[in-house]
Chain A
């Protein structure tokens, strides 16, 4: 199983809502990532978890709150978002902190978020 599964695929929320994005992998990977991708732009790193501990936060606003309940799961809790937060949110995983032999990240298909 080389899949990273993200749910939901699409999410529409108001600025006062609280919602969560979920990500799951069963490859035994110990590093998990959240990226944000706006239209026609490259993915931008948001957070990195290594061995279930937050190791990188790229100065992301606190309205985005990551959580790693166990080594297979990664959540992104959303609260009081702005319309400019509308984007494709990509989850990825890799073998351990060093990315394995190749540094390869395995990406999910993404959750497309629209904030009204």
Chain B
């Protein structure tokens, strides 16, 4: 099955860019996702990328996919205090759409 690894913490200043990195093991993952979890809330899909894409941009979010290295990153431009949350990388194991989540990266944004 899919195994997803991410760093646990990232601290940035408000207005800076944040880059959250993730590696995964299952090369057959068709979908790769970034979910966001705010305190006391459920997970919310932020963005996704199909495995046949290298990059996807969605307003302040940029997703980069390096399939050779099985590396996924999420860049948040002009990071705001409201972006403070846990960000989960997820892959669909065995070509499935059902996400297998990494441990999550806790993003802390300082004013």
Contact = CB atoms under 8 A, between A and B. Distances in A.
Instruction: Say whether A and B bind each other.
Output: yes
Interface of A: 4, 33, 40-45, 48, 56, 90, 92, 94, 98-99, 102-110
A71 to B, nearest CB: 18
Given A98-B97, A107-B43, A109-B40, A42 B48 contact: no
B22 to A, nearest CB: 11
Interface size class of B (residues with CB under 8 A): 20 to 34
B104 A42 contact: yes
Contact of B42 (A4, A40, A45): A4
B33 interface: yes
Main secondary structure of the interface of A (DSSP, over half): loop
Given A90-B42, A109-B40, A103 B103 contact: no
Given A43-B101, A45-B98, A48-B98, A104 B48 contact: yes
A71 B99 CA distance: 21
A99 B42 contact: no
A103 B43 contact: no
A19 to B, nearest CB: 20
Nearest to A42: B101
Nearest to A88: B42
B41 A42 contact: no
Contacts of B100: 45
11 contacts: A4-B42, A33-B98, A42-B4, A42-B104, A43-B101, A102-B45, A103-B97, A103-B99, A109-B40, A109-B41, A110-B42
Contacts of A56: 98
